[in-house]
Structure 1
């Protein structure tokens, strides 16, 4: 196996490079390059490890001819063109948990700073004033904290707030009632949170659904005297409306670590009374910097060496522990998808992947992606597991996934079905000895075959003498047959023949075979 190469293009803790070396990955640390300089060298590398400085644009990706994975040491991937990476077949990963505690603690720190007006009190005192009566704070004990987003970081903030004897309510469409009980918090709708919360902290990504979630309209719904903290993403709050709320006194205080435009050097919020700002320090602790560097190195190494996919943003996750067990299933899935793709023509509105028996107990998302990659390979020579789902969506193909735990004729089975103008057509395969992919059914006909190399698919009438005729034809043209794999619906009816051959079958020979007596269809195949 060729040693994979990784480029670290942003300053990162030295432990990252050491992990790559210890795992057998070649690593270069080349930081501070301009986009043009990066384009000139990126083609050598299989992996790219970045922080926030490197911009992985469409142009960079086009130059990255060998690139397989981009790893962001941190949460935000605003500097990566994920659609372009997906189209290119490049996995994009981040490290969402390495700085979770750090970011949560920063939110709590800002909440305390607001409650006790610490920055203003510090500036006043160091200016020689002693304005003890000016800075009247509030306790957090007994107050209601409203979480907008109760995922990884939000749940850590909740646990800290509960330790401070606060009441915690949360708005999060993905928060289940069971998880809310487990966290000891109350799940509410957004309007109720705005009405009840004394403090509001935001812990949600910036999406079309969350952009300006604290809009002017929603800020007007908040309790008078509310204090707001945002350590998540700029753009979640209408900053002009926030300033108006602070100026009017409706909002008692606000603390932002993130801004809609960064670096924020001339925000209208600057200088507003009861406003605190920090320069995107949520992840800025020595522990967090080490953690995200270690995590990105481990994730990229797992992917390049073992096929493990962790914290990916554009492909299903596949742990390094799962990868060896799933590898033969993914090989089977890709071959079945390729077989269907080579044997069907015209528009395919729907493809279904059915996992049965032991296969249904596994992580089927990678199998689905592998089927789509195999199926679409006839349409694109750059398709892989990463971009296949996106290409299927672009082509208007509906993808269905079905699981059946009950075993049928086989201990484990994977079936791929496509909807065609002639009706539903399906192929099925299993694993022999839990490792060797085998086709066991082809368009309703039982046939056992290994799908590998160059093959011929022939549909013919089941009649004596046909095997001799096809063997003679191939022999006369210097084509050696590896294996014969036969199947038929019933005696004298329609039969299928899958031949493995040692070399590609010329178009002229395919044409001659199609003219043999009883032959209905001949197709060359390649796996």
Structure 2
């Protein structure tokens, strides 16, 4: 029986035809996604669901999707899909991460011009029969400094357009190397310096715990008097209450927003502010972009339903069925090594080197490298997957090296991940034992054996008496239960590393107390 796909949002006739041409039974109901009850009633009849942003694929919808194998999102954002619930049910969630890049970048540039020249207000005034030339004195773009928060796929396109407009461009992006910045003509800076120097600030980062309210009252206070702020990325990156106050006071001369903390934004604290330009999340809304992502998602879903090929999956690595049983534990190890290193890296990255030794060197190391890069990039780019990770690393100028060699040491196989930044070189290595569970076996040249749990504390310290007692006492007094405790050291009395698995998140005041011990150098909470 042919696979059956439901399209519950507005996809083009050409996208619908792709499914039909590939022999897939397709029902095109472009308004069904707006009705949760009707969608829930019929979803059990389909193997695939193709959507844009209007359809909300909730846990309730997924619970009734007994046949569903794949959800395809025409676009990059999967905020409208409960990815965790889909994963639990074994449903692949795909997106089309690169189809909207040019369109979104162009919208950011258009919004910058609109705010700088007060075009919407001037248009309304002129069409109302007024002629208020003196009221609408604008700001020239040429020679001004544009501050990019995020310089990935979309941000680098914005930089290219801004340079063409003869602007100076500074960029804050922890994953942007100095070499990549030079190649695209931007200056890599820290966030506070960007706030201090930029005449225009534009955001091009995903919404994560680290980027939420990245522009708040404190950030605005560090900016130039008369700065402009543009957000065509995600709602919630800017504290809207703080921005409203800054627009009212004149500290921020203008703002242009395509996204809001709550959407649809039928009301918002920003509405009515002076020199505010708003659009209803139009960043990806051009005919070209809408068509590109629609065709792409139809091809991806067809390839999976007919042949099992996985492309741009948010929640599944691209591994063939034949190699999966043997490769899967090493994929998990590679992703954990990447995540471990990514959570500890806070400076620009030049190179990531993956060394594969023993039996693992004969496996599909391309998938393993992609898994390691996924783990490394995920702390800042939560939607990254094994397909998009290599290209996202390239965009940030990160050079990736793969090294394979025969077994040389005590372990039958192991993977070592080395991160080379502007300041240092640091490595972490691991292996998979007979039980199929990944283990850390070395960190920064210090041998230790540790299994990574959901919540970990990474502590670097001097190997001196009193440290273990201090750590245990602080955690115990805070009610933090230790699950596993792993220690390693270079030599007696020298540098040591402690990896502690705990039964929940450790509050910041507790971390500060651990750090207060004179023998402790660094304390970092990690999650896996």
TM-score by length of 1: 0.64
The residue number in structure 2 matching 1:32 is: 31
| SS at structure 1 position matched to 2:433 | strand
**Does 2:25 match 1:10?**
no
The residue number in structure 2 matching 1:124 is: 125
CA contact (8 A) 1:42 1:63 kept: yes
Tell me: CA distance 1:187–1:365, structure 2 relative to 1, closer, same or farther (3 Å): closer
Once the two structures are superposed, the pairs formed by residues 208-247 of structure 1 within 5 Å of their partners are: 208-247=209-248
Tell me: CA distance 1:310–1:360, structure 2 relative to 1, closer, same or farther (3 Å): closer
Query: For the residues of structure 2 that align with 1:336 and 1:145, how far apart are their CA atoms?
Result: 43
The residue number in structure 1 matching 2:433 is: 418
CA contact (8 A) 1:215 1:241 kept: yes
Tell me: CA distance 1:249–1:62, structure 2 relative to 1, closer, same or farther (3 Å): same
Tell me: CA distance 1:36–1:272, structure 2 relative to 1, closer, same or farther (3 Å): closer
Question: Once the two structures are superposed, what CA deviation does each residue of 1:337-396 show, in whole Å capped at 9, x if it has no partner?
Answer: 9xxxxxxxxxxxxxx99753442543237999xxxxxxxxxxxxxxxxx9xxxxxxxxxx
Query: For the residues of structure 1 that align with 2:329 and 2:228, how far apart are their CA atoms?
Result: 57
The residue number in structure 1 matching 2:366 is: 362
CA contact (8 A) 2:407 2:413 kept: no
CA contact (8 A) 1:43 1:66 kept: yes
Aligned CA RMSD, in angstroms, stands at 3.0
Once the two structures are superposed, the pairs formed by residues 6-85 of structure 1 within 5 Å of their partners are: 6-33=5-32, 34-85=35-86
Query: For the residues of structure 1 that align with 2:358 and 2:49, how far apart are their CA atoms?
Result: 35
CA contact (8 A) 1:198 1:225 kept: yes
| SS at structure 1 position matched to 2:50 | strand
| SS at structure 1 position matched to 2:363 | helix
The residue number in structure 1 matching 2:271 is: 270
Tell me: CA distance 1:11–1:354, structure 2 relative to 1, closer, same or farther (3 Å): farther
Query: For the residues of structure 1 that align with 2:148 and 2:233, how far apart are their CA atoms?
Result: 12
CA contact (8 A) 2:145 2:200 kept: yes
CA contact (8 A) 1:104 1:154 kept: yes
CA contact (8 A) 1:215 1:238 kept: yes
* Displacement after TM superposition at 1:100 (Å): 1.3
Any gaps of 5 or more consecutive residues in structure 2? 332-355, 373-384, 386-401, 415-430, 440-528
* Displacement after TM superposition at 1:74 (Å): 1.3
CA contact (8 A) 1:94 1:313 kept: yes
Query: For the residues of structure 2 that align with 1:4 and 1:23, how far apart are their CA atoms?
Result: 10
Tell me: CA distance 1:92–1:354, structure 2 relative to 1, closer, same or farther (3 Å): farther
* Displacement after TM superposition at 1:334 (Å): 6.5
Query: For the residues of structure 1 that align with 2:209 and 2:30, how far apart are their CA atoms?
Result: 33
The residue number in structure 2 matching 1:169 is: 170
Query: For the residues of structure 2 that align with 1:248 and 1:258, how far apart are their CA atoms?
Result: 22
**Does 2:330 match 1:330?**
no
Indicate the structure (1 or 2) with the bigger Cα radius of gyration.
Answer: 1
| SS at structure 2 position matched to 1:405 | strand
CA contact (8 A) 2:8 2:28 kept: yes
Once the two structures are superposed, the pairs formed by residues 378-389 of structure 1 within 5 Å of their partners are: none
Tell me: CA distance 1:273–1:14, structure 2 relative to 1, closer, same or farther (3 Å): same
* Displacement after TM superposition at 1:328 (Å): 3.2
The residue number in structure 2 matching 1:96 is: 97
CA contact (8 A) 1:359 1:414 kept: no
Paired residues, number: 366
The residue number in structure 1 matching 2:136 is: 135
Tell me: CA distance 1:139–1:41, structure 2 relative to 1, closer, same or farther (3 Å): same
Tell me: CA distance 1:222–1:20, structure 2 relative to 1, closer, same or farther (3 Å): same
Once the two structures are superposed, the pairs formed by residues 80-479 of structure 1 within 5 Å of their partners are: 80-316=81-317, 318=318, 326-330=320-324, 332-333=326-327, 355-359=359-363, 361-364=365-368, 405-407=404-406, 417-418=432-433
TM-score by length of 2: 0.64
CA contact (8 A) 2:357 2:407 kept: no
CA contact (8 A) 1:72 1:93 kept: yes
| SS at structure 2 position matched to 1:255 | strand
CA contact (8 A) 1:235 1:259 kept: yes
CA contact (8 A) 1:9 1:30 kept: yes
| SS at structure 1 position matched to 2:80 | coil
Tell me: CA distance 1:249–1:334, structure 2 relative to 1, closer, same or farther (3 Å): closer
CA contact (8 A) 2:74 2:294 kept: yes
Query: For the residues of structure 2 that align with 1:138 and 1:276, how far apart are their CA atoms?
Result: 15
Question: Once the two structures are superposed, what CA deviation does each residue of 1:258-291 show, in whole Å capped at 9, x if it has no partner?
Answer: 1111121222322221111111111111111111
* Displacement after TM superposition at 1:136 (Å): 1.5
Query: For the residues of structure 2 that align with 1:213 and 1:22, how far apart are their CA atoms?
Result: 46
* Displacement after TM superposition at 1:405 (Å): 1.5
Question: Once the two structures are superposed, what CA deviation does each residue of 1:313-349 show, in whole Å capped at 9, x if it has no partner?
Answer: 2223x3xxxx6xx553225547999xxxxxxxxxxxx
